[in-house]
Structure 1
């Protein structure tokens, strides 16, 4: 098959000959450096995507994605739930009330957010039921003052299912002894462990029990929503508020947890930028290796010029060589990066079993999560190839400027 002369010679220069082994080694090291840089960048991005996914599933699976709250006690909350579930983009809705207080047991005191829920509907909007260590959500029943605690809260208080816990409300009551805070005793009926910070700050009771604490009877403060698209939560809230009386107001996860996810997004961007420097260093190695090739091939360039090769043809020869090195390194790096991204969780688990060291016990997940996104693969691959191609331009132009007479003077 006929090949353009510049393509034929450029590809031939990439293959080693005995007297060119050092030059070939330089080209190979540049290719390996580019491959490792691309593979590491894809793998790290996949791991960060995995942590981001776990955070969204666990934290946003526990805290409300969007809420519709009322300035007045909401007694007919069933109608609001029905209205919300009929709205496009809303997956489910459930009643909720919240009260802040102090939990005390065994001489220990810790603050907590007490949330009143309806267990049957809460299953549709929360992942709580999937992470119960002890007991069930259905153990929360009207009038029994049961309490479901996060594992960290239970550990801080030193309690187990069946133990009593006293809730101290930040509301003073007048008595013969003076002004004293309100107390209410609960019984622990369940413990959950999501593995995030919510384990140390959330507790759940039946919504009617929470209503009695808030002195609103069996009414609730509002309704929490689970949405199909997290980034449309605010839009859905505004759409629902337009159909409700003015004493309703809304909030969404971007107001309560947005700073956390913005921090993760910024960290991912900065990590990508730093790791991209590895690819840039590998591209610089391509420059140095091609400059050495040009110096070594000056006599060959001069001979080709005397035989009629134009400076443009000489430039294309070395562009082909550098592009072949860059393309080979990029493709190998993409393949290795994809393979590592798909297997890194299993590799880390194998290492933990082999060494007996558990690397992630201190984190909110007990394994190394990884989520491969093909957009990241495409972005990394295209960026690496573009940098490697740009790295070939300077040596190729220098090769095109070689003067035959000067190159052959001392031959």
Structure 2
């Protein structure tokens, strides 16, 4: 992967050793194997990027193109982003806080935030002349890769754990992807794709294209700030799988502060993991680096036992003055139901975990009644209905209106 094109970013930089590289399809620093991040000309952007120029852009993540490391596609197809930010008044009252907003990335084309990162990764894949998009996935990324490949006329190959929820993989198959069910965990899938990335001319979005892919998550923060009238919230609550989303959301708000597009203190970041797969939450609590674990959780979209960006997520959280919490497995379904019953939003298991972390942060006094809070709903509950399936208990009645009225105690 060596094709070079002029893009808003100037180069890649290793966050660990500072090594600088060209904008190529490389997933880790060849010197120290540290993560790579695109670097932008922030001085130039301060002169040209304004509220007005952003607002004049397309109604998608491509309105933030100057802060993304790829060219905007000539014909942006199925463009994700600019998803709703809605007040959750009844849920806020239930939790005892004044202001709560839900960022509904369920409104993206395949109903998760993964459409953002894949759109950016695919743009880079096209620049590099690649004809196949590939990934390891816990489900949502498989959907996003398959749909993006379909609309762009590319081939799609996904590697998923063999026992992943059928609801997720049926959609992936419908988009025409080739699915490999790997006899192992997500971490086995990830290791396999890293090995294959050296052998196959495919665009592995979360391996060789990861430096570009991860940048798509920054647009969540950009949108929240814009949708709040160019203001930052006090708190953002975010699920943690690999750790990339949380750290990049923090980076997104920092970008806007550095560019003078927002002012004030950084939002406190609150991370959320399930107890059955909580390597980042445990490392945060014990003030040490992340150690791999074997996942055993119903929150399959968060079941990454060896999170590549776990330490980065911890660093971003500490810098913001936030916290990371592990949520009990039995509370995940309860929180999914609470979100649905009070806000009319059916989020997947990750949303149940995220709401659980918000509740724990409130219980510990980390979030006050006057805080303006944004909770990220990153995936749709229709993909993972199992934890709330016990609530489906329809009442069997005859097709007789009088009988129902009588049961309701209404005189006919």
* Interval of TM-score (by shorter of Structure 1 and Structure 2): under 0.3
TM (norm. structure 2) is 0.18
The structure that has the greater radius of gyration is 1
TM (norm. structure 1) is 0.18
Structure with greater helix percent:
1
